[in-house]
Structure 1
Amino acid sequence: MEFELSPVEQRVLGCLIEKEMATPDHYPLTLNALVNACNQKNNRYPVMELDSATVEQTLFELRTEHKLAVEVSASGSRVMKYRHNVAEHWSFSLSQMAILCELFIRGPQTPGDLRAHCSRLHALADSNQVEMLLHELKNHEEGCFVVQLPRQPGKRERRWAHLFGAAPEIQEEEPEEIAVPEMQTGPSRLERIQTLEDEVSDLKQELADLKEAFEAFKTAFE
């Protein structure tokens, strides 16, 4: 990657992509609309509290340093609006854009999570399609845009992260521990069976004694 976007730049760019795909009738965005998008409580991780000055400065950096945002003037309005400029840098499909957008605004995710979250932007068939798209982004002819992270303890699926910012810290996956059965310190299986047989034999004897006592009781009153 030829540059690294800060976390705030990733959030602003991700929100521009998101609103273009999710609400095209309200895109490009005004500064106020973009601030609200960046500070949403849902569909965001982490949740941010950005003010207008910070978002405006971030837009300036995206426009001048990275050429990833454009300022546009709306017809008959003095309020400036903003759109992203990703398409002039890389040739991503709509499916790939949806995945990158979700990674920008939510952080690392599993293929299953990405499929669920991308559904509001662009429908994806299943997790297998997401896996295919992630590998396309990893081996893209214009660069490597995503990376697979080590499996988290207790998780079945591994997460993926984008590479438009600082490279995520990759730690070697610890080998799975093989559970070794503990040595049995209690009675063996044969000993437990013998104990049960002894208990059954005792119960039979007690039952026989009760029957004998009952018969003797009946005889006394005949």
Structure 2
Amino acid sequence: MNHDFHTHPLSPAEARVLGTLMEKARTVPDSYPLTLNSLQNGCNQKSAREPAMNLSEAEISEAIDGLRACSLVIESSGSRVTRYEHNVQRAAGVPEQSAVLLGMLMLRGPQTAGELRINTERWYKFLDIASVDAFLEELQDRSEEKGGALVVKLPRAPGAREQRWAHLLCGPVDMTLPTAPTATGGAAEDDVIALTRRVAALEHTVTALSEQLANLRQQLGA
């Protein structure tokens, strides 16, 4: 039975916890499933998060309880410390590529298909922007029997070339709010894509270093 996000939308904290678990499963498989401490560090990262959050351990525990109740998160037992993993594909009834796009939208807010392709490079390598669009459209056109649309295409922002997509896992999105342009009108699209790639690469490096440091501290018992 698919989870119905329209009847039981996620809270912002639940969406952040879920997105973080989905990201870390891909980017640091050796540390996955995550401990509560690693999950908190991931949720509160300063890079690759929109908006930035500062969730307490109690808020994360509460979010985990909510996600476990609807089978979106599974608790792993058997190790010294409790660990958590996501169960999005099965619970939402979506293919891997769609799950990747939903996870990135939960972590970084509305994005164009081009931005999603760049930002998800470490999770899944989409062939081209058209394939990203195809999976987004499939998520938008989901039948009511399957639980209805999980993403929506936002109105074009003033000065923006491309429309951005938003997820609907936390409930309906206000379509009347103007969305910020994704690129300055005069900038060449290639320059913007190149710059976005460089920023994404730097964010990945910072994140990887932070995770290595956290793991080192854990090993040293800090």
Using the TM superposition, give the Cα deviation of residue 35 of structure 1 relative to its aligned residue in structure 2, in angstroms: 0.2
Q: Is the 8 A contact 2:114 2:129 kept in 1?
A: yes
> Are 1:67 and 2:75 an aligned pair?
no
Q: State the partner residue of 2:184.
A: none
Q: State the partner residue of 2:200.
A: none
Q: Is the 8 A contact 1:150 1:172 kept in 2?
A: no
User: Which whole-Å CA distance do the structure 2 matches of 1:46 and 1:96 have between them?
Assistant: 22
5+ unaligned residues in a row in structure 2: which ranges?
1-5, 179-222
Q: State the partner residue of 1:113.
A: 115
Using the TM superposition, give the Cα deviation of residue 19 of structure 1 relative to its aligned residue in structure 2, in angstroms: 1.1
Q: Percent identity?
A: 43
After superposition, the C-alpha distances for 1:162-195 in whole angstroms (9 at most, x for unaligned) are 110121111299xxxxxxxxxxxxxxxxxxxxxx
Look up the equivalent residue of 1:47 and give its one-letter code: A
Higher relative contact order (CA 8 A, sep 6+): 2
Kindly tell me the number of residue pairs found equivalent between the two proteins: 170
Q: State the partner residue of 1:86.
A: 88
Using the TM superposition, give the Cα deviation of residue 145 of structure 1 relative to its aligned residue in structure 2, in angstroms: 0.8
| Aligned residues: CA RMSD | 1.6
Using the TM superposition, give the Cα deviation of residue 91 of structure 1 relative to its aligned residue in structure 2, in angstroms: 2.8
> In terms of mean alpha carbon deviation, does 90-99 or 4-13 score higher?
90-99
Look up the equivalent residue of 1:155 and give its one-letter code: A
Q: State the partner residue of 1:176.
A: none
TM-score (norm: length of structure 1): 0.72
User: Which whole-Å CA distance do the structure 2 matches of 1:170 and 1:48 have between them?
Assistant: 23
User: Which whole-Å CA distance do the structure 2 matches of 1:152 and 1:7 have between them?
Assistant: 24
SS in 1 for 2:30: helix
User: Which whole-Å CA distance do the structure 2 matches of 1:172 and 1:78 have between them?
Assistant: 47
> In terms of mean alpha carbon deviation, does 164-173 or 32-41 score higher?
164-173
Compare CA radii of gyration and give the structure with the larger one.
Answer: 1
- Pick one of 48, 51, 60 that aligns with 1:55: 60
User: Which whole-Å CA distance do the structure 2 matches of 1:102 and 1:145 have between them?
Assistant: 13
Using the TM superposition, give the Cα deviation of residue 78 of structure 1 relative to its aligned residue in structure 2, in angstroms: 2.4
Q: Is the 8 A contact 2:10 2:169 kept in 1?
A: yes
User: Which whole-Å CA distance do the structure 1 matches of 2:85 and 2:94 have between them?
Assistant: 16
Look up the equivalent residue of 1:20 and give its one-letter code: A
TM-score (norm: length of structure 2): 0.72
SS in 1 for 2:55: coil
> Are 1:104 and 2:109 an aligned pair?
no
Q: State the partner residue of 1:43.
A: 48
Q: State the partner residue of 1:130.
A: 132
- Pick one of 156, 161, 164 that aligns with 1:156: 161
SS in 1 for 2:92: coil
> Are 1:30 and 2:35 an aligned pair?
yes
Q: State the partner residue of 1:6.
A: 11
Q: Is the 8 A contact 1:44 1:105 kept in 2?
A: yes
Q: State the partner residue of 1:212.
A: none
User: Which whole-Å CA distance do the structure 2 matches of 1:19 and 1:161 have between them?
Assistant: 21
> Are 1:21 and 2:23 an aligned pair?
no
Look up the equivalent residue of 2:81 and give its one-letter code: V
Look up the equivalent residue of 2:90 and give its one-letter code: E
Against the structure 1 CA distance between its residues 48 and 93, is the aligned structure 2 distance closer, same or farther, given a 3 Å change threshold? same
Q: Once superposed, which parts of structure 1, at least 4 consecutive aligned residues long, lie more than 6 Å away? A: none
> In terms of mean alpha carbon deviation, does 135-144 or 94-103 score higher?
135-144
SS in 2 for 1:109: coil
